Chains A and B, each alone.
Chain A
Amino acid sequence: MKKNRLLDLFTNNRFYKSIFRHGYPDDDIKRSEVVTGNLLLHIQPVKVHKNTIRAGYTLGLGLIAFYLFIILTATGILLMFYYIPSIERAYNDMKDLEFAVSFGIILRNLHRWGAHGMVAFVFLHMCRVFFTGGYKPPREFNWGIGVVLLIITLFLSLTGYLLPWDQLAFWAITIVANLIGTSPPESIMGANLRQLVLGGTIVGQNALIRFYVMHVVVLPLVAAALIGVHFWRIRKDGGISRPAEE
């Protein structure tokens, strides 16, 4: 095979090989090693069925949802540098992001629209799996994890909704808190659940810090762990669903 000398310069050296444990993947053995020689082995197989890469089958919906999760994590970390979860400061920090921080408004837009997108694409992904019968055995448990991931996505989005501390945020969370308060029996279950979620009787500082901690620590960790299990189970259940072969 004709060698690409520039490629060879970058890939056929100790430094590259110390990282990737194989040369540039230009034959089938090295192509296998890309997967078996890396952490990636636990996520993706050496070979995939042709149906897996057929765009018209999956429409890439699950992967788009995952990519949005990655972008949301990255932009979320950057936003944490500028945002203080205090009812005195939160709203001013939003204004600063818009007018004082370089590209702050873009950062916030990416996070906001990405969050809406993630809710939508997780839901669309669920529709795809249903309409292709992908939830059937042996994938029934992974479907269940997917439903839990949808719920976590909704809660991630909801907890983030309060953080700008504007009228939209305050009253939307008030509605949801009142909704939680109707869990029967209301005087015991509902009232206490509402108290637990808000850390008080109204949406105030306690609610803001609770939503913030859930939004930036607890829910992302749970989501990341379940996404790991979700991907791993795809492999263990024999890859993405496909028609039975003749």
Chain B
Amino acid sequence: MDKKEEPAIFPKNPNKTYGLMELTKTKSFQIEKGPDNTVTSWPHLFFRELILFMGVFIALMTISLLFNAPLEQEANPSNTPNPAKAPWYFLGLQEMLSWAHPFWGGIFAPTVVVIILMLTPYFDRSQKGVGVWFAPERKIANLLFTIFLVLAVGLIVVGEFFRGPNWQIFWPWNMPSPH
């Protein structure tokens, strides 16, 4: 090719060992695609997963070396502790039992919660705010879930720390012995 007729759009740079050879009119692989924001799973993902496992194991082992699991007296059907408490994750339900007929707090409420949770994605279908923590587009959904969270955790805290003999309210530091 005659150098004098070459257009000046791509002037030859003497410092480079490569140059633009040709332009063709075809689609590139990147057209109408987002940037390729991916990394290979090995090693990027797998090493992080391995490190997390080690962290979990070390943390659990440390707790297990420091604190012993509770073991009370042998089960005795004729000696009822006052109050008898369910495991902590069911204490919210046990707390609600004391308000009305046990069916409402113990069976009805958790069933309704599970049904609402399972159906949520079939009604809340908007794609706005997906992939972002506390997206502003999802204020109402996040608010409703936060209320559920506060209630669930709050009831557990009340049941665990504020309920004493005869299921009466006590301050945690005034809690009478359960026997």
Contacts and interface: CB of A to CB of B under 8 A. Distances in A.
Interface in B104-145: 106-107, 114, 117-118, 120-122, 124-127, 129-135, 138, 141-142, 145
A7 interface: no
Contacts of B76: 167, 170
A137 B145 CA distance: 18
Contacts of B80: 171
A182 B96 CA distance: 13
Nearest to A63: B52
B149 interface: yes
A28 B52 CA distance: 24
Contacts of A171: 80-81, 84-85
Given A47-B41, A48-B45, A166 B74 contact: yes
Contact of A182 (B49, B74, B75, B106): B106
Contacts of A199: none
A245 B34 contact: yes
B130 A241 contact: yes
Nearest to A204: B77
Contact of B63 (A113, A169, A174): A113
Interface in B42-93: 42-46, 48-49, 52-53, 56-57, 60-61, 63-65, 67-77, 79-81, 84-90, 93
A112 interface: yes
B132 A243 contact: yes
B37 interface: yes
B37 A53 contact: no
Contact of A179 (B77, B93, B129, B145): B93
B147 interface: no
Chain A contact residues: helix, strand, loop or mixed: helix
A105 interface: yes
State which size class the interface on A falls in. 35 or more
A46 B40 contact: yes
Interface of A: 25, 28, 31-32, 34-35, 44-53, 55, 57, 60, 63-64, 67-68, 71, 87, 91, 94-95, 98, 105-106, 108-114, 116-117, 119, 127, 130-137, 139-140, 143-144, 147, 151, 154, 157-158, 161, 164-172, 174-176, 178-179, 182-184, 202-203, 241-246
Interface of B: 34-35, 37-46, 48-49, 52-53, 56-57, 60-61, 63-65, 67-77, 79-81, 84-90, 93-94, 97, 101-103, 106-107, 114, 117-118, 120-122, 124-127, 129-135, 138, 141-142, 145, 149
26 contacts: A31-B41, A32-B40, A34-B41, A48-B44, A50-B38, A53-B39, A71-B56, A91-B74, A98-B68, A106-B61, A106-B64, A109-B64, A112-B69, A133-B132, A136-B121, A136-B127, A157-B89, A166-B71, A166-B72, A166-B74, A172-B84, A172-B87, A175-B86, A179-B106, A182-B106, A182-B107
Given A25-B42, A35-B42, 17 more contacts: A31-B43, A34-B46, A44-B45, A48-B44, A51-B37, A132-B135, A133-B130, A136-B124, A166-B73, A166-B75, A176-B86, A179-B106, A182-B102, A183-B103, A203-B77, A242-B130, A243-B132
